Amino acid sequence: MKSFDYLRPETLEEALAALSDPDTAVLGGGTNLLDLMKLGVALPDRLVDLTRLPGLDRIETLPDGSWRIGAMVRNADLARDPGFAAAFPMVAEALLSGASAQLRNAATLGGNLMQATRCAWFQDPQARCNRRAPGSGCDALEGANRGHAVLGWTPACIAVHPSDFCVPLAALDAQVEVAGPAGIRHVPLETFHLLPGEEAHRVTALEPGEIVLALRLPAAAAAFAGHARYLKLRERTSFAFALLSAAAALRVEDGRIAEARLALGGVAARPWRCHAAEVLLESAPAAPDSFARAAAAALETAAPSGANGYKIVLAERILARALAAAAAGTPAEMPALPGSLMDDSDRETAHA
């Protein structure tokens, strides 16, 4: 493979200085980047390993009640952090529904946010892909695209974002803390990943030289802990990306929905926040009719990008299912098969 330099900065300043070089890639757990390098999709001249930067492995609550999670926190550590999992159970469930135990032990929060689409043509350096090679075209349009986007796509790109983790984060108004030459700024996770327009090669809100430093979850997001679920449709019971997924969180007061938070995974180039559906649910009874109406609204603008029209129907159904599951209450214990439609563990609820 291509030779590259490997840098392991000790301070954030050193890291940012190293990133000023354009052909530099940032290394976290390496569970996606190293694959892309082996495939010849990523060909950096140097890698900047952030895993030794001080302080980025912390999970902490701030004085205002919000949570701050460092970019180098491993997926497994975050999912198994008792305080975090209690406050944000659907985030923990999403994390545990993803990949395999080995990958979760290695993968980092920052790396999860920055991971690339698994679109087969993006991962093939010889293929036409506007996301990887601007202006080259999109081979996915004419290919085996049953897993591709039904929302927010353009003919330039029909890829979907692969993350499970980011789906509940988008629903819960998470903010991405970004560090760069100009200092620190915050970007809503919901818009951190960019949708394609006429072009598709810019995939996140990061400017050149910027890195993800941490993730913030507002204190208000923990108010949904009693009614929050992540559900994932996939063709293998574990170790498979979502064909579709949904995160649903409710605040229920006297049988009525006070507030709802909803997002879909596997439908677009970003985790898809469903604002219109959330509005419809406010003050509605926590009942199947409300869920069906909201789910239909969420998919109103959906359109197939290929042989994936079935995903629109199923996305509606998985949203309604996730809402019903959330209304029933967060399980007292993490399901044996987190996020799985095939889980049979007990349904005692924690906070209902």
Partner 1 sequence: MPDDIAPTRHQRLGSNAGDPHSRLDGIAKITGAARYAADNAPAGLLWAVIAGAPVARGRVARLDTAAALAHPGVTHVITPENRPALHKDPDLRAALFDWKLDLLQDDRIRYAGAPMALVLAETAEAAAEGARLLAPEIEADPARIGFGDGLAFAAETVGIGAPPATAVGDVEAGFAAAAQVTEVEIETPPQYHNAMEPHAIVAQWQGERLVIDTPNQAIVMSRPSFAAYFGIPPENVHIRSPYLGGGFGSKAILNPAQILACLAARETGRPVKLVLSRAQMYGPTGHRGATRQSLRLGVDAAGRLTALSHHAVSATSSFDDFLEPAANAALNTYACPAISVSHSGSRWDIGTPGPMRAPGEATGSAALECAMDEAAHAAGLDPLDFRLRNYAETDPATGRAYSSKALRECYALGAERFGWKTRPMQPGQMRDARGRLLGWGMGTSLFPAPMFQAEARATLRADGSAVVETAASDMGQGAWTALAQIAAEGLGLDLAQVEFRSGDSELPDAGVAGGSGHTATAGSALYSAGRDVIAQLTALATADPASPLHGAGNRAVVAADGWLRIEGEDHRRESYAAILARAGRDALTGRGKGARDPAHAEARAMFSHGAVFAEVAVDPALLQIRVTRLTGAFAAGRIINPKLAESQLLGGMIWGLGFALQEEALHDRRSGRLLNADLAGYHVPVNADLAEIEALTVHEEDRFVNPLGVKGVGELGITGTAGAIANAVWHATGRRVRRFPIHPEDLA
* Cα distances (angstroms) measured from residue 202 to each of 151, 157, 179: 18, 11, 18
Asked if 143 touches partner 1 (CB under 8 A), the answer is: yes
Token pair belonging to 50: 């952030």
CA distance 197 to 281: 30
* Cα distances (angstroms) measured from residue 89 to each of 25, 42, 104, 147, 340: 32, 34, 17, 27, 15
CA distance 289 to 296: 11
Closest distance to partner 1 from the beta carbon of 339 (Å): 12
Query: Tokens 């995903």 label which residue?
Result: 311
Asked if 30 touches partner 1 (CB under 8 A), the answer is: no
Asked if 57 touches partner 1 (CB under 8 A), the answer is: no
The secondary element (H helix, E strand) that includes residue 184 is: strand 183-188
117 phi/psi in degrees, rounded to 5: -60, 150
How many residues of this chain interact with partner 1, rule: CB under 8 A? 36
Asked if 17 touches partner 1 (CB under 8 A), the answer is: no
Task: Pick the closer one to partner 1 by CB: 79 or 225.
Answer: 79
Asked if 243 touches partner 1 (CB under 8 A), the answer is: yes
Candidate residues 276, 317, 350, 351; the one interacting with partner 1 per rule CB under 8 A: 317
Candidate residues 183, 235, 254, 255; the one interacting with partner 1 per rule CB under 8 A: 235
Contact (Cβ atoms closer than 8 angstroms) between residue 334 and residue 309? no
Candidate residues 10, 23, 40, 283; the one interacting with partner 1 per rule CB under 8 A: 40
Residue 208, Cβ density class (10 Å: 0-12 exposed, 13-18 middle, ≥19 buried): exposed
Asked if 310 touches partner 1 (CB under 8 A), the answer is: yes
Contact (Cβ atoms closer than 8 angstroms) between residue 130 and residue 196? yes
Task: Pick the closer one to partner 1 by CB: 109 or 325.
Answer: 325
Task: Pick the closer one to partner 1 by CB: 143 or 218.
Answer: 143
Q: Report the sign of the C-alpha dihedral through residues 118, 19, 176, 12, in that order.
A: positive
Write out the DSSP string of 231-280.
Answer: EEE-SSSSS---SEEEEEEEEEETTEEEEEEEEEESSSSS-EE-HHHHHH
Task: Pick the closer one to partner 1 by CB: 235 or 254.
Answer: 235
* Cα distances (angstroms) measured from residue 303 to each of 147, 148, 190: 13, 11, 21
Candidate residues 237, 283, 301, 349; the one interacting with partner 1 per rule CB under 8 A: 237
Within residues 189-218, the interface with partner 1 by CB under 8 A covers: none
Closest distance to partner 1 from the beta carbon of 251 (Å): 25
Closest distance to partner 1 from the beta carbon of 233 (Å): 5
Task: Pick the closer one to partner 1 by CB: 19 or 99.
Answer: 99
The contact mask relative to partner 1 for 97-136 (x = CB under 8 A, - = no) is ---------------------x-xx--x-xx---------
Candidate residues 10, 142, 207, 300; the one interacting with partner 1 per rule CB under 8 A: 142
Candidate residues 77, 93, 139, 278; the one interacting with partner 1 per rule CB under 8 A: 139
- Contact positions vs partner 1 (CB under 8 A): 1-3, 38, 40, 118, 120-121, 124, 126-127, 139, 142-144, 146, 233-240, 243-244, 310, 313-314, 317-318, 321, 337, 341-342, 344
